[in-house]
Amino acid sequence: MSVMPTQPATMKRLKAAAAKAAARAAAAKEKVRSAKAELKQARKLLKAEKKAAKQARRKVDAAGAAAVPAPKAARSAPRRTPKPRAAPKPRAPKSPETMRTAAQVAKTVIERLHRPPPPLAPPPIINADPDPPAKAGPPEA
């Protein structure tokens, strides 16, 4: 592959075009940087304004709450009065014969613990070959 020789005038023009393009690219890059910096500054200002507005709102709310006492909530329906309860019946005192002392109760518990356990019922007896019923006929085949 052979490269054709170019004329010196064409070379100068191409070099000048390349230099202009590089200068335009650098200018565009600088413009983008300045726009970003400007945006950053605007965001900072916005944030500061929002903070100041929030503080002012809080001060107004606090001043309003301190100046005017909060009104009591109106009730929609009057309170119901509880129904009167029936008087409890007096308990009849137990007779002293059925009352046991704590010592008597403890004694019966200890006696119950010392007794052997009650005997278990004997297991049922099951025959392996039960007697055939008397009225049954011969088995059918």
Q: What is the pLDDT along the chain (141 residues), one digit of tens a residue?
A: 455 667 888 999 999 999 999 999 999 999 999 999 999 999 999 999 999 999 999 999 888 887 766 566 666 666 777 788 888 888 877 776 777 889 999 999 999 999 988 788 887 787 766 565 556 556 665
pLDDT of residue 33: 96
DSSP 100: -
* Domain boundaries of the chain, sorted by first residue: 10-66
Tokens of 55: 């503080």
